[in-house]
Chain A
Amino acid sequence: MTGRPIGLGLTALLVWLVVYPIAIVFVESVGGPGRWTLEYLRGFVTQSHEWRALWSSIWISLASVVLAGCIGIPLGFFFERVDFRGKRILGALIALPVVLPPLVGVLAFLFLFGESGFVARAVQAVLGLSNSPWRLQGAPAILLVHAYSMYVYFYLFTRAGLAKVDASMIEAAQSLGCTGFQVIRRVTLPLLRPQIAAAALLTFMTSLGSFSAPYVFGGGFRVMTTQIVTSKLNGDTGAAMAETVALASIAFVGLLLLQRFGGRRSVAAVGKGTTVAAASLRPATSWMIGAIGWLCAVVLLLPHLTLLLVSLVPFGTWTTQLVPPEYTLGNYAQLVQEPERLRPLANSLLMAGAAALGAVGVALWAGRAIVQRRARLGRAIENLLNVPWAVPGTVLAIALSTAFSANAPHVLRFVLVGTVFLLPLAYLIRNIPITSGPIVAGFRQLDPSLEEAATSLGASRLRVMRRITMPLLRPALLAGGALAYATAVGDFVTSIVLYTFDTRPISIEILSALRDFDVGVAAAYGVILMLVSAAAMAIGTSR
């Protein structure tokens, strides 16, 4: 088992998959071989609407970080530091939005808070208005969806960080005269800095790449992702490439800046200590706090309950009424019975499965290469695995559609655009970071002497893999595979650029159902996506 060949092959594959296509976009944005031109880039920098979209992407992302932090951090403190009835199940419920596809969240918001959603209808009815009281559109709508779906990062990271804070530090601060709030400001929050920085980074990058919310709610308000897709769909490839270069550059700069100022200095606790116990409340208070907690959970889960409700509404029956007058399972029956409706379902399930399997394969390979003794390429491989994470989905989609639209095998370019392979490949690439995270960690925890013991007992490499490595990695493989599956099955952002008629996934079908005002079918697809994602996560986290 030599370290270099396995590492080298993988490094080459990762470079080809995650770096090469983006490099091609950068090169082709200035014209490509033989015909250098600054035309596209000049076109970009001289257009004021391009600058507006760029600035919108940045400020929306920063504002999303602030809003999500304002919800997630206090919520994290509350759930980690206060004990009340139903805390465990509630704590898990409010983390739910993180596993749901963004498009489902957007759809749910539309049905609940949109101009013809439940809330608007209720307000209209109560105030006796003739028109909807508001339109859910523009920056506020996008921010609302972002804050709602991304607070979970802050919530989870804050809880994880708090769980590790040593009680003796808090006690030391108290003995030095700090009162409750001072302790939080001067001790707890600084200790949580790495976690909060990580959550901020994640939120910033997610929101920079966010497509569903700006696409559905943006209206005239453009951000870079929607701008790119519009240019691409309008056939303006040059502009799409220049915009892609701009967004990719912002993403990388954002990543570097946030890493530099946020996560670098991790604060390690000195000595071993105990974790801070949650404050136990008197029964009455516990009930009251529990009730408030449940109310919060219902509010947070309301959009998804709405989705479920709308999925039962037959086409054309819900017009001006406050609540839909009729409920059937007809929409679901349609999805299964009509081949045209069934096709996207099957497509998404199959393509997500293939992408998840592929990503697990890459992650296994990477894990093996990284933990190998003295693997010099380990660091490079780890960085490569994380690249797709820093690349907004739209950028990746444009990069793939550019790189794989030419046939030049000598430079490893093949025509995949228009084939059934490109979309699953895009899912696979996007899945690499999320899948390799748990699997590489699993390999790290794997004691190398276990495999050595098996080998010295005469086991072949295959048997070691089958009897020892795979069973021990099972939780990591399940977690990585499930995360990959849940992400791929609901993908919208790469799909809208890369789908063909044969590979159209659920998300594209939701969009076309919405265009036909067939909200019931759109919601039914949404519910199925929700259930599939939740089931995948349940399997992934089972032990």
Chain B
Amino acid sequence: MPDGLAISKLTKHYGNLVAVRSVSLQIARGKVLALLGPSGSGKTTILRLIAGFEQPDTGTISVREREVTGMGPAQRRIGMVFQNYALFPHLNVFENVSFGLDADMTRKERASRVAEVLELVDLPGFETRAVTELSGGQQQRVAVARAVAPKPDILLFDEPLSNLDPALRERTRRELRRSIDQIDVTTVFVTHEQEEAFALGDEIAVLRNGSLEQVATPSDLYEKPASVFVASFVGRASRLEGRVVSSERVAVGDAEWPFTSPARLVSGDQVLIAVRPEALRVTDGDGLSGTVEDVRYTGARAFFEVATPAGVVELEASIHTVKVGDRVRLSAVSSHAFPVNAE
């Protein structure tokens, strides 16, 4: 069992709805785990189960090898940063940050701990400010300071960047990662944005309908997706039907592409193919034939929609490669194949 957080076979129902279905996860101490999934995938419920706001129907949660299942939130030594920050509007920055500090601490100790964490989040001297006067980014940093002040064993974030405007997000993301590294605390955060998960998480757990689809590092998740859902949820991917023709190649329409798969596949297996737009090339030789139907420019590169007999695929290429109406053939440098019944 790792020294950070261990979740074992966690299940939670709301009436007939299964919000979390037998999820097990382990995080090493000091690492950052992102819970990534679409809305309704159960990621927030898992976070609330870890925090102790909800109790699981079955399963256990251990923090630093101490089982906390059944304990109230107050006993768990967990710091949480809420999506809307949940700063107490009637208390100032100092009162907010010192709220969770040990009652035995002297006034001087409290002041010094508050100053220390405010320094950490780059808000030194903000003690007497009203939290309602702060900008969104500053409020978030106060929320982080408040959560880490009592030196929690685990730090939880619920959609940490969703309340910030896009321009502020990237900067805040970097600062947040820096703060987390400095604090050196096991961290779990929930997000529905892949970019956020990739930038902040050491590992990412992808959830769908309450079940865990895959836990992996960002690069593994992208390059070795465990399911067609992961392949298309993490990054962009077109889904096509195909048939395995050899241990390395799969037939898609009138073309054959190389593939990798998490499953053991044999020739003749019907499969679902996920292919990323950047893995496709326009070729003069053999390839999947189709017609360019639409184009979306993103700068020097563009995404082209190509209608093929196997389905519509998305191709990423420089803007002058093809134009709408062109007949093209597409080869792939890589693709991911999954057994049809797995979907």
Contact = CB atoms under 8 A, between A and B. Distances in A.
A128 interface: no
Contacts of A452: 51, 53, 73, 80, 82, 86
Size category of the B interface is 20 to 34
A458 B99 CA distance: 9
B99 A456 contact: no
Contact of A471 (B83, B90, B100): B90
Nearest to A468: B88
B86 A455 contact: no
B290 interface: no
Given A450-B88, A453-B87, 10 more contacts: A447-B84, A453-B80, A455-B52, A455-B74, A456-B52, A456-B76, A456-B79, A457-B146, A459-B99, A472-B90
Size category of the A interface is 10 to 19
B150 A374 contact: no
A216 interface: no
A468 B73 CA distance: 16
B84 A449 contact: yes
The prevalent SS among residues of B at the interface is loop
Given A458-B150, A472-B90, A453 B82 contact: yes
Nearest 5 CB-CB pairs, A to B?
A: A457-B100, A449-B86, A453-B86, A455-B73, A449-B82
A450 B79 CA distance: 13
A460 B87 CA distance: 18
B78 interface: yes
Contacts of B79: 456-457
A471 B90 CA distance: 7
A454 interface: yes
A459 B90 contact: no
B245 to A, nearest CB: 53
Given A374-B14, A449-B82, A456 B88 contact: no
16 contacts: A449-B82, A449-B84, A450-B86, A452-B82, A453-B87, A455-B52, A455-B73, A456-B52, A456-B53, A456-B76, A456-B147, A457-B99, A459-B74, A459-B100, A467-B88, A472-B89
Nearest to B14: A374
B236 to A, nearest CB: 33
Interface in B130-148: 146-147
A460 to B, nearest CB: 6
A456 to B, nearest CB: 5
B99 A454 contact: yes
B78 A456 contact: yes
Interface in A433-474: 447, 449-450, 452-460, 467-468, 471-472
A458 B53 CA distance: 13
A460 B150 CA distance: 15
A456 B51 contact: yes
B124 interface: no
